[in-house]
Structures are given as C-alpha cells and as structure tokens.
Amino acid sequence: MSKHLDPTLSAQVRAEALVGLMTLEERASVLNYRSPGIPRLDIPEYNWWNEGLHGVARAGTATMFPQAIALAAMFDRDMMETVGHVIAVEARAKYNSYSALKDRDIYKGLTLWSPNINMFRDPRWGRGHETYGEDPYLTGELGTFFVKGIQGDGPVMMAAACAKHYAVHSGPEGERHTFDASATAKDMEAYYLPHFKALVEAGVEGVMGAYNRLNGEGTCASSFLMKKLEEWGFDGYFVSDYRALEDFYKNHRLTNSDLETAAMAVEAGCHICAGYVYEHVMDAYEKGMLSEAAITKAAIASMRTRIRLGQFDKNCEWDQIPLEVVSCRAHKQVSLEAAHKSMVLLQNNGILPLDARKTQTIGVIGPNANSREALQGNYFGTADRYHTFLEGIQDAFGGRVLYSLGAHLYKNSTTSLGLYQHDRIAEAVAVAKRSDVVILCIGLDADLEGEEGDAGNQFASGDKVDVRLPESQRLLVEKVLEIGKPTIVVIASGSALNVEATQADAILQAWYPGSEGGIALADLLFGKVSPSGKLPITFYESCEPLPPFTDYSLKNRTYLYAENNVLYPFGYGLTYGNIVVKSVTYVDGVATVSAENTGNVTTEDVIQLYMKDNNSVHAVRHHRLCGFKRVHLFPGEWTTVKITLDPTAFDVVDDAGHRFVDSDSFTLYAGVCQPDELSQRLSKTSCVSVNIHLSK
C-alpha cells in the first residue's frame, strides 16, 4: 500500500507522501479553490468553496436554521454543537450523492466556510447577522461548539469548519476592498483576536483571511496574523476570501502585480486562493519570486485537509450517509427548538402569553408577516417548506385571523410602478380596528442588511445608515399604534433596531428565525413555550453618539464600554417564568450558583457571570462576561449549577497588548442579565455577587 493511502499514518505523513508524487505544476494547481483533478494519482477535482452558516447553503434543499446571530441569542453551547452536527450530516449526504454523479461543483463539498466569528462592534454593519455578536468570549465558546459539531471527534472529519474573517473585519462593506482597519495592540489582544485563538485551539480546520488591510498589512498575507496562528498551534488550511488577493494589487496597492501578490501570499502561508491570483504561481516560481518549498508546503496543507475528510479512503465511515437525511423531520425539530430558544422578549406588560380563549380576532399586519425572506437571513439553503409568521399564527389560532401587508419593507408604495403612496396603510388601520389583538410584524431582511454586492440596499452597500426602521414602516407603526388596540410588535432583523414602539404592549425580537420561524413564533405567543433568548449585542437608541463607523476603537461601543445610548442591553431578555439567582460562590475557577423559579410558568433562562476588576486601570469600563449556562426549571423548582469561568476572567490587557493579572480585588456577579442598573430594571431582577481577592 502506498504510504498516502495508509489510514494508520497521520494526515501530515500521508499528505507529504501524496504531494511527493506530484509534479511542481500539480502542486501549484491544487492551491486554487477550484482544484483540478489529477487522474494519474486518483485525485478527483474539488471545489473548496462551500457554505454552512446556518444550514448547508446554496446547494439546494437543506434544513434552514435561524441565522447565526439568532443562534448566538440561545447562549447554548450544546445546541450549537447539535446544529453544527446536523449541518455536517447534510453536507456529507449531499457530497456523497453529488460526487456519485460526478458533480463536484461549488457549494457541494465538505470544506464549509463557516462560522463567521467577526465582532459585531457597530450596529450599522450589514453582515453582523452572520456573527455571534459583540462579545469575544461568547463568540469563542459558541464557535468552538459549532466547530465541534461540524467536524466531530472521530478519526475522519464529517466536514471541515472554517473561522472567518481573520481579522478585525466588520465594515464598512462599501470600503472593504480598500479599507485599512486600524486597531491598537490592546484592542487586538483583548477584543479582536481571542475568539480566533479559541477556535484554533479547539482544532478548527480552516481559517479565512479578510478583505481589508489591518494596520497596513493585507490580512490574507499578514506577517502579524500568520505569526499568531503559528503561536496558537494552527495546523489546518488558510484560505483567502473570494478575490481578496486581487485587492492587494488593484485596490490596496500592496504589490505591483497579481504575480507579486501570488508570491507574497504563498510565502506568507495562504494555502488556498479563492479567486484567480494563484493561476500565476508557476510564473512567480519561474521568475524566482516564489520558492518550491513554499508551494510544496501549501500543497501539503491542502492535501492534509482532504485526507482528514477521508476523500482518498475506501469505506470512509461517512460515505453511506444518504440523501434522505436532508431536511428530515428530526432535523427540522432541531431548527424549531433553536428558533424557540433564540427569540428575545424585549418588552411585555402582561399581554403575553396570549389567552386564545379570550381572543376572537387577531390582526396580523406588516411587510414581514408573510415574508419568506424574513425567515432566511443570508447564506441560506432552500427549505422544502416554510412557515411564515402569518402561517404559524393561522395554524395555531382557532379564531379569525385578518391580514394586511401594511407597507412595503422600505418603499413608500407596494405597487411595482410606485404610483400610490402608502397604499396599504388604510387596510392596516381597518384590520387593526376590527381585531382584538394586533401582531405587527416589521423589521428588515437580507435585502436591506447583508454583504456588499448581495444586498439590494446599494446606497449603503448592505450596511445600515442608522438603527431606525425605513420610513414606510415608521408610518405603519405610528398609524397602527394610534388605534390603541393591544399590540405585539415582532421584529425580524439581524441587528439592533430602535422601532420606536415603546407604547406597544409587547416587543419580541425574532431575528431571521429559519424555516420553522412561524411555528416558533406562534408557540411563544400562545404560551406553548416560554421565551428564553438573550441579546448577544447591545441595542442602541441612536447611531449618533457612536464613533464613526470606520473607527475600530471601542469607545462608547458594546456593553464593555458603552457610556450611554443603550436601549436594550447585551444579555437582556425576558421570560414568562421568573428565575431568580439566589447566591453565588467561587472556588478555584468555578462558580457555584443557586437559582429558583419563583413564577408559575415552566421556563428556561440563562445564568450569566460577569467579572469586574476593581483596581486595574487597564480593565474594561464596566464588566465582562466570563461564564454562562442555560437552566430549565419548573415553577417552584430550585437548582444549583457549577459554571467554569473563562480562564482569562481575571486578565487585563495593557496598551502594549500584554495580557496579565493586574489586581487582587474583583467582584463576580451572577444573574439572568448584566449587573448594570438598566439591565436589572428592565429585567425586574437583581444580580448577586461575591468579592474575590487573589493573593499576589
């Protein structure tokens, strides 16, 4: 048996042996994302570009989970692993079926370019809904378990995850091909890199570079970033974002030609080019700009990943996964559970849960009420069945449901010619007047917030200009609320909005909840399930007090440094029960927390731990998340849970980027929200705390 086919040997040894059989031209060829086959070595062609952000994307039918930002709102490691596992199973099933038909095209492979773990530092960023929010610890924890679910822990990976976009990349979308993100050493070490480190240490197989420069360097060939990967022990493959390397010459002006870019990137450690620059690799070699050793090293990394995926093994344990598992009932149930756990109840005067026995007519109004797009987010697969908000309510409610579109999502007319302004307002008002309860479904979709080039919102390249609703919907909200009927506002969006509807009886943040979103919404509205999601981002009152979008400093941004302007805080979310944290103790990195459900509704909630450094001048302005755990309690039930703290919970980072413990006095807070005054007032609860003194 040839050494590269021996499954008892390590993937590294097998990859070295396989690459050793290739000519230099063949080694260069496998560095392209559209990697050609090498028939004489029985290496099939392979396309590295595949997506799995919240379900297998762009490859036909698949289970559609809630968008990534919604998955983050679950604050649930185990569910993240389960979601990742389902995605991997479906990716493998598709790969098996397509490959058997010799279809090895884009989106049909096993190298999933997910998760997106960039920091959602500013609410204007259109791609923020692809991320896990604004906190690096939360992102690292959730991303780690998502990766674990995708890759598994067996000798052969079911699929390969990829942490992107490395690094310091979160808008503006319209400038990403020319933009130089400037970040201090402190912010890099404390905020923009910890979650990438966490995923690398957890064994993520891929890392993708970003479009922008970082402190002058192109991120796909940055000596600083590549050195960090080496320090963290990364041994997977590094890939450029699509056509990001072309920007080196055309936009960033870092090189004088694509030829020079190819040489720079391969030598730096970019193994796979998503784009076309690596078509120049052999020319660069022949001109003495690129070494054979660098080409060989990159080819080995490429083959090593494919070997870890079992692509050259006979009888791989995953080869028999059939197409029938795709979008099966069990997988849809996972999507539904994720939607249940992700929706965040922001406001409730007692109207929720609705008593269907006391309600005869429900009016469902708004551009997102019957919208499939409001379920999807971006980077989505095709569900075999969708349940819109309207459909979910219609199926769950036995009485009369009246419906009105109310307004276009962002235009002032719902007609194609735009001849009649605000032409559905009268209908919406009439429906509201005839209803006992109004469900007002508003917000955005991925046509308004998303990636540059994908979103239809071209005036901001997919970003938002502020946190207000489009004008068409602002008028709709105003006119419906004027009627004075009990009104529940349901927001579909992937980012922070101020919908200016505080007089509503309840507000529910539904995100982009996936194909089962309508069922999940109805289950929450009618009390079949208690809401339990928490905000993974800060909701701001306005964008005006924020620093410029292009400023990557954290001044007055995120829950770590916000000085004012907070509408709903990070970690906030109401339930129908009343889980109260009673006590917290701390010993050797572990907090012991007791809690009781003093309400009369069975519910889940998220116990959150926050650390406050009481002395160091280098500490964050407020406190930072250092632990969390979901609990499920029946009315009157007690629980005591142990929560392991973030190992860096006591650390600070100085201006030079050095991480260390700088204090002997800390306060550890435990609750179902942050320990700030606004969070506790909105949640109608209090955090408990314990003082910790470290011996120097």
Please list the active-site residues.
Answer: 241
357-394 b/e (C-beta count within 10 Å ≥ 16 → b):
eebeebbbbbbbbbbbbbbbbbbbbbbeebbbbbbbbb
End-to-end CA distance of the chain: 59
3 phi and psi angles, rounded to 5 deg? -55, -35
Provide the CB-side half-sphere exposure for 520 (13 A, CA).
32
φ, ψ of residue 502 to 5 degrees: the values are -65, -20
Q: Which two tokens stand for residue 145?
A: 């378990």
Comparing C-alpha atoms, which of 306, 309, 386 is closest to residue 155? Answer: 309
In whole angstroms, what is the distance from residue 35 CA to residue 272 CA? Answer: 9
399-428 residues labelled b (16+ CB within 10 A) or e (exposed): eebbbbbbbbbbeebbeeeeeeebbbbebb
556 closest CA partner among 612, 651, 621:
621
Do 238 and 269 form a contact (C-beta atoms < 8 A)?
A: yes
How far is residue 578's CA from residue 636's CA, in Å, rounded to a whole number? 10
Collect all residues with Cβ–Cβ distance below 8 Å to 178 and sequence separation of at least 6: 247, 251, 252
What is d(CA 207, CA 240) in angstroms, rounded to the nearest whole number? Answer: 9
Q: Kindly provide the b/e burial profile for residues 669-693, where b requires at least 16 CB atoms within 10 angstroms of the residue's own CB.
A: bbbbbbbbeebbebbebebbbeebe
Q: What is the DSSP string of 85-99?
A: HHHHHHHHHHHHHHH
Q: Is beta strand 180-181 parallel, antiparallel or unpaired with respect to 217-218?
A: unpaired
Nearest-CA neighbor of 580 among 681, 677, 683? Answer: 683
